[in-house]
Amino acid sequence: MRAHPAGPRHGDLVADALPAAPPADLNSLSSHVWPAGMVRTPSGQLSLHGQSVTELVRTFGTPLFLLDEDDFRRRSRAYADSFCGTDVYYASKAFTSVELLRWVAEEGLGLDVATGGELAVAERAQFPMDRVLFHGNNKSVGELSRAVGLGVGRVVIDSTEEIRRLARCAEVAGVRQRVLVRVTVGVEAHTHEFIATAHEDQKFGFSLASGAAARAIELVLLQPSLELVGVHSHIGSQIFDTSGFEVAAHRAVELLAGVRSRHGIELPELNLGGGLGIAYVDSDDPASTEEVASSLRAIVERECRAYELAVPRLAVEPGRALVGPSMVTAYEVGTVKQVALDAGASRTYISVDGGMSDNPRTALYDADYTVVVADRHSDAAPMLARVVGKHCESGDIVVRDAWLPDDVRADDLLAVAATGAYCRSMSSTYNLLGRPPVVAVSADGPPRVLLRRETIDDLLALDPFA
């Protein structure tokens, strides 16, 4: 194992660097952050639709992803209802499995896939292919021809090479493929900040400012096997308000007006991408689905009025907002270590039996999470601790600054909230730790395994010399 010295943050636990004050009650669950079906019972146990986390862990082991099926379905329905008249595509890269995609289909949503692998899951789920939209900045010819062959509803074109590749695939298949052109509108948004210039320096889409988007549209219109239905813009992720979308919609509608004056056609669809944020910690305050939906609609209608354009059919692609809040991760504590810092301060490191392999977001994005003791009530005083994993990296952090009771000890169970998006889907087998299972729990019926635990035999099966 490598032993790194602590990183530059070593010693930052001084009074002025302390995060927010401890929550009033370390035992309570903010409904803002936890799935709707999760409560702490009078005995102190976390329970999901009446199934105690302790029991679930006894059956399925740790680390364990627990998915509140009813919460996920309710969010999906809320999107479908609030965005009525708008196409809602679930961005399956946030988390995908065959059974979950069946729920997505049942709740009436479409699906966004970005690789042949994600498309294969959709195929196994018998997802209606006309409601599938295929993204990606470097789709292979194999992926494109598979998608066209399966009859996916829309392909979002991301490069000049792809225009010819896709046109050829469609021609060979004898179909006219519906496409959108992905444009980079020069807006980048994260959480509550957005930057409305410069951010053209990225790999996705065609730049609007340089004229590349207009040229791509022209080239697509020349392909008899492609039917251009609209433009697409995705401005970022974990966005809390609609000001970034406002600028994006303004520029996209301006482009649609430009297409009308140049080519005499009004494109019928405008896809504003995903990116709607969720609460990871209590202080996060994302706009509600209803607010976002009505504000996006109002923005586009206003812009279209200004250009005297018919309002196109809108589409959005939420990933995180649908699945993120519906899942939690249960871990078992293995060690608790007190480390002396400068100036007489100390930090408590609580090691759990997973880490950056099942949740790389803290290491990658410095993401913040809420964590609680899952299997008992505690009246101990709050302690600011760092929850870390078991990997050979000092950056293997699950929750950088976590308020936990100061009696946390080995064998306690911890639960981390809002791990549904980009945790299992971005998980790795680093240090040959198999990836955790995902178990769905609903108010009706027993828990069901959506993805089983990856075993060491699964991993060794890849090694022909094993």
Ligand X SMILES: *Cc1c(COP(=O)(O)O)cnc(C)c1O
Q: What residues act catalytically?
A: 392
The reply to whether 275 sits near ligand X by the rule CB under 6 A is yes
Contact between 424 and ligand X per CB under 6 A? no
Q: Tell me 185's DSSP state.
A: -
DSSP of 67-129: EEHHHHHHHHHHHHHHTTTSEEEEETTSS--HHHHHHHHHTT-EEEE-SHHHHHHHHHTT--G
| Distance of closest approach, residue 318 Cβ to ligand X, in angstroms | 5
Among 246-254, 273-281, 386-394, 434-442, the segment contacting ligand X (CB under 6 A)? 273-281
Residue 423 CB, shortest distance to ligand X, in Å, is 12
Number of residues counted as binding ligand X (CB under 6 A): 17
In the bound state with ligand X, the residue whose beta carbon lies nearer, of 278 and 309, is: 278
- 115 vs 378, beta carbon nearer ligand X: 115
Interface mask (CB under 6 A) for ligand X, residues 289-328, using x and -?
Answer: ----------------------------xxxxx-------
Minimum CB distance to ligand X smaller for 315 or for 433: 315
Burial 309-344 (b: 16+ CB within 10 A, else e): bebbebbbbbbbbbbbbbbbbbbbbeebeeeeeeee
Instruction: Count Cα neighbours of 141 within 13 Å in the Cβ-side half-sphere.
Output: 9
- The CA–CA distances, whole Å, from 327 to 68, 76, 100, 421, 440 equal 6, 14, 12, 8, 9
- Nearest 5°: the CA angle 38, 41, 43 is 145
Whole-number minimum distance, CB 141 to ligand X, in Å?
21
Supply the minimum distance, in Å, between the C-beta of residue 316 and ligand X. Answer: 8
Q: Is 132 in the site for ligand X (CB under 6 A)?
A: no
Per-position x/- string for 231-270, each x denoting binding to ligand X as judged by CB under 6 A, each - no binding: ---x--x---------------------------------
Site for ligand X in 340-379 (CB under 6 A): none
> Is-contact 200 186, C-beta < 8 A?
yes
Residue with tokens 């409601």: 131
Among 276, 385, 404, 433, binds ligand X (CB under 6 A): 276
d(CA 305, CA 336): 61
* Contact with ligand X (CB under 6 A) among 135, 165, 297, 435: 135
Chain mean position to CA 210: 30
Q: Counting contacts by CB under 6 A, is residue 286 touching ligand X?
A: no
Nearer to ligand X among residue 94 and residue 281 (C-beta): 94
**Contact residues for 337 (Cβ-Cβ < 8 A; gap 6+):** 348, 349, 351
- By beta-carbon proximity to ligand X, the closer residue of 35 and 274 is 274
Spell out the residues 6+ positions from residue 288 whose beta carbon is closer than 8 angstroms to its own. Answer: none
**Beta pairing partners, 207:** 184
Residues 70-99 touching ligand X, rule: CB under 6 A, are: 91, 93-94
Q: Which of 35, 230, 274, 355 binds ligand X (CB under 6 A)?
A: 274
Identify which of residues 114 and 372 has a Cβ nearer to ligand X in the complex.
114
Using an 8 Å Cβ cutoff, are 372 and 46 in contact? yes
DSSP state of 430: G
Contact 186, 197 (CB under 8 A): yes
Give least dist CB 399 to ligand X, A.
21
The residue (of 186 and 273) whose beta carbon lies closer to ligand X is 273
Q: Determine, following the binding rule CB under 6 A, whether residue 139 of this chain makes contact with ligand X.
A: no
Closest CB 232 distance from ligand X, rounded Å: 7
Chain contacts with ligand X (rule: CB under 6 A): 91, 93-94, 112, 135, 234, 237, 273-276, 317-321, 421
